[in-house]
Amino acid sequence: METILLQSFTIEEFRTIIREELKAALQQDQLLTKEGAQKLIGASNAVFLKAVEDGKLKPQFLKGRKKAMYFESEVLKIIVPKRSRKTFS
């Protein structure tokens, strides 16, 4: 991202620039492997496969690749249940 001198912009010009930068950043959706997606959200294999079965994740098959890829924006929408840690005394 480029440096912006704030003194030369009005508030409206600054807001417009920020909106455009955010829009450009949100349009860049990366593809992740299953393993990378699981690491990103901390999900188990069962949680991940359930999300695929439920249709929350759609595998993307790319020419020349043997593994399915998943969009980062879809992966981040998966809710991973928190485990309760029981301590034995």
pTM, two decimals, is: 0.58
Give the total residue count for the chain. 89
HSE of 13 in the Cβ direction (CA atoms, 13 Å)? 7
Cα–Cα distance, 35 to 44 (Å, whole number): 10
pLDDT of residue 22: 78
HSE of 88 in the Cβ direction (CA atoms, 13 Å)? 0
pLDDT of residue 26: 66
Q: Which residue carries 């593994």 as its tokens? A: 67
pLDDT, averaged per 10 consecutive residues of the chain (89 residues), comes to 66 83 75 90 90 91 88 86 67
pLDDT of residue 50: 92
